[in-house]
Amino acid sequence: MQTPTVPVAPRTPALRSRLPQVGTTVFTVMSALAQQHDAVNLGQGFPDFDGDVRLIDAVNDAMRAGLNQYPPMAGVPALRAAIAAKVEALYGHRYDADTEVTVTAGATQAILTAVLCCVHPGDEVIVLEPCYDSYGPNIELAGGTVVRVPLTPGSFRPDLARIAAAITPRTRLLIINTPHNPGASVWTRQEMQQLAELLRPTDVLLLSDEVYEHMVYDGRPHVSAASVPELAARAFIVSSFGKTYHVTGWKVGYVAAPAPLSAEFRKVHQFNVFTVNTPMQHGLARYMADPAPYLELGAFYQRKRDLFRQGLQATRLSPLPSEGSYFQCVDYSALSDLPEAEFCRFLTAEIGVAAIPLSAFYAEGFEQRVVRFCFAKKDETLQLALQRLARL
């Protein structure tokens, strides 16, 4: 007689985390809370309006024309040529479309790939806090050490002396972001020139996150690293079509870098995503023939910024400068002593407007009683949010 087999419960083996400190992001938490309380979501940074129908049509036309198979690994040649032409026209630096421009699956993939291609275990990477939340985990995945240098609180300007003091023989990469998320500051040409002088005697590479490049206000220019020859020679420059054309869910961006850097970038890129959505690339290439949509973007968002800032005058929130990006930080210290995350939960649940605590952009959760709003919204969305905020 055969002995009955005792059922064995399935077992998932334990996994040692590559990112043990990472949990659910504050953006996910606040968006869920906003949905729960039917709040106006000014937290997560994406538009609540559609992109240009001409761009949608261009992508649809590409799909119907049969452009649906793998494109070249580095990107559709017509799109890379359009990117190179745009960068040269705006910033005066000519990148070779064949060897120095790579189309990516959004800026976040571009940043991770740039980090992975140049950072080795034991290397140090300087980031300027507050900063986009992917920088630190990207560096850790590469085995590097994150070196955090604070921007000046309130103005979020770079402190070049502190950056210089942070550079050691182990420094491999410096990551900058202009226009800045979350602080909405924009680096000046003088600051970029000072950075070039600081890096001149070093072998430190630069990653310049310029996804908000076309969102600059009050007549100030965006000073791309591409426009400073010494920086362009050592920089990965990242931008995003999703941000520029109001289609963040498409996840298409690009990296421009000197040929030796691009060659190493592409080695990682080809085994990371290999390539990017074909019809979207063809649609974007066609749409870029008209520069007006990105040239007019600053004026488009400045009007929304001004509408939002004017409405804040009816509240006890104090707006900080917003020189670029589509974010507005506010100081709520005249209103509450709550920590930033708790104040955001109060705003969402009791006032009906979601924001993001600035402390979420600091590894150690630096508290300044400042929160960030996104004004990339329909006018009626902003007006509704302002009506609710006027209760403060």
What is the per-residue pLDDT across 286-323, written as a single tens digit (0 to 9) for each? 999 999 999 999 999 999 999 999 999 999 999 999 99
pLDDT over 90 (residue 6): no
Distance CA(39)–CA(344), nearest Å, equals: 11
Q: Tally Cβ neighbours within 10 Å of residue 96.
A: 13
22 or 256, greater pLDDT = 256
Residue 26: pLDDT over 90: no
196 contact partners, CB below 8 Å, separation of at least 6 = 228, 230, 231
**pLDDT per position as a tens digit, 129-172:** 999 999 999 999 999 999 999 999 999 999 999 999 999 999 99
Q: Could you check whether the bond before residue 293 is cis, i.e. omega within 30 degrees of 0?
A: no
pTM of the model: 0.96
Strand order in the sheet with 235-240: 101-104, 253-256, 235-240, 205-209, 171-177, 124-129, 145-150
Domains of the chain plus CATH, in order, are: 26-45+295-389 (3.90.1150.10), 53-290 (3.40.640.10)
Q: Which residues are within 8 A (CB) of 337 and not within 5 positions of it... i.e. 6 or more apart?
A: 369
Token readout for 79 is 């799109």
